[in-house]
Amino acid sequence: MKTWWLPFVHAMNGIRQAVKEERHMKVHFLIGLIVLLVAFYLPLTSTERAILCLTVGVVLSAEMFNTAFERTVDLVTQEWHPLAKAAKDIASGAVLVLALTSIAIALCIFVPYLVQ
């Protein structure tokens, strides 16, 4: 019989696997942890903390979507193919866009507190 918590277990396995097997995911995870620790150490407003939490979550999710894309492409072909390259490069580009946006957001929030 299927239990209601089984999808949650599968999702947790997915997170564990991505962190364990993906070098970039480890880096994003570590940076996200540092950002959250600093966010709760500095006297930020609740809104600023919420924005930083959202930013960290969005980047981690994007990296996991990128990993899922890469695995799917590898499942379809192990051969070099221009479409496989485009799919992987575009997915990586999406993560880069979000990572740069997150850096901009973090600077906007942290810099005023750090220069005081």
In order of 69, 91, 96, 116, the CA distances from 103 in angstroms are 24, 19, 11, 20
Among residue numbers 10 through 49, which ones bind ligand ATP (CB under 6 A)?
A: 24
Nearer to ligand ATP, 26 or 49 (CB): 26
- Binding-site member from 80, 114, 115, 116 for ligand ATP (CB under 6 A): 80
Catalytic site residues? Answer: 63
Q: How far apart are CA 24 and CA 27, in angstroms?
A: 5
Nearer to ligand ATP, 8 or 89 (CB): 89
Q: How far apart are the first and last CA of the chain?
A: 59
Nearer to ligand ATP, 18 or 109 (CB): 18
